Structures are given as C-alpha cells and as structure tokens.
Amino acid sequence: MKNKTYMCILRSDTGGCEKPSPSEMELQYAKYQAWQQKFASNILDMGNKLGAAGSVVRHESVNDGPFIELKEIIGGYMTLTAKTLDEAITVIQASPMVASEGTSIEIREICTP
C-alpha cells in the first residue's frame, strides 16, 4: 500500500500561559529531538510557524486577521507520511506538541487524484 501524505495543522490557545524557563525549554528541545528521531521516517517536513498577523481575502472584502473571533489560532503546520490516518495519529500523539495544554493538532490527508 502506498503511503499517504498528511497535513497537520497546529492550533493553540491565544491565552498567555506562563513562559517556560530555559531549563524547561532544554527539556522540551530534548523531547522534540527524541520524537523526531523515533519518527524520522514519518516526518516529511517539520513545516513552519505562521505569523500572528494576516489578512482574510473574500470576494468583496479584505479583513485583517480572522483570528479575533476564534479562541484558537493556527500557529503552524507540518507534513507527515503514513500508511493510514491511524498511523499518523500515533505519530502526533507521541509528539511533545500535544503535551502542552491548549494545543490541538488537526490531521488531514492531502488528497491527490
């Protein structure tokens, strides 16, 4: 069976949580590294962060940021390869990203004809 590609969209709470200390960041970084090593064959692209400012363009209007009405904003994205959605879920569940409260990751297959 051919692998599928999944887009993972990271959303996080806009509410300010306490800033992590350097030691906590060290720990977090180590967790990322361990996770990346473990799932190296699944991770296609670690993606990027998205800036906080932006615009929404519609048929007749351009609005600054759609984010005001949303509790959670899209903070970043990454792509995975996996045989099934379940496998992709396993990879994401093991990631340090979902360990923090107020963060959710939406996994969607990138469809190709």
Partner 1 sequence: MNQQVQVEHVFRHEYGKLVALLLRRIGVQHLDAIEDAVQWAMAQALDFWCKDNIPSSPSAWLYQVAHRHLLSEFKATQRRSILLTEHSYIAQNEVIELEEAPFAGEMSDSMLRMLFVACSDAIPIESQLVFTLKSLCGFSIREIALRLFITQANVYKRFSRAKQQLKNQTLELDMLPDDEMVARLPSVHRVLYLLFTEGYLSSHTDTAIRRDLCEEAIRLTKLLGASKFGDVPNSYALLALMYFHLAKINTRQDSYGSLLLLEQQDRRRWNKQQITVAMGFLAQSATGNTISRYHIEAGIAAEHCLSPSFEQTPWEKIVASYELLHSIAPSPLHYLNHAIATAQWKSPEAGLAVLNSIDIPDWLDRSYHWYAVQADLLFRSGETIQGQAYAILAIAAAPTDSIKQLLSKRLKVR
User: Where on the chain is the footprint of partner 1 (CB under 8 A)?
Assistant: 19-26, 28-30, 32-33, 36, 46-49, 76
Two tokens at 19? 């800033």
Complex with partner 1: residue 27 or 85, whichever CB lies closer: 27
- CA 33 to mean position of chain CA atoms: 16
Helix (H) or strand (E) holding 108: strand 103-109
Complex with partner 1: residue 3 or 47, whichever CB lies closer: 47
Complex with partner 1: residue 48 or 112, whichever CB lies closer: 48
Nearest approach, Cβ of 45 to partner 1 (angstroms)?
Answer: 8
Phi-psi region of 111 (alpha: psi -120 to 50; beta: other; left: phi over 0): beta
Complex with partner 1: residue 21 or 61, whichever CB lies closer: 21
Nearest approach, Cβ of 59 to partner 1 (angstroms)?
Answer: 34
Distance CA 87, CA 103 (A): 20
Alpha helices in the chain (DSSP H): 22-38, 85-93
Nearest approach, Cβ of 33 to partner 1 (angstroms)?
Answer: 6
Nearest approach, Cβ of 53 to partner 1 (angstroms)?
Answer: 13
Residue recorded with tokens 């379940």: 86
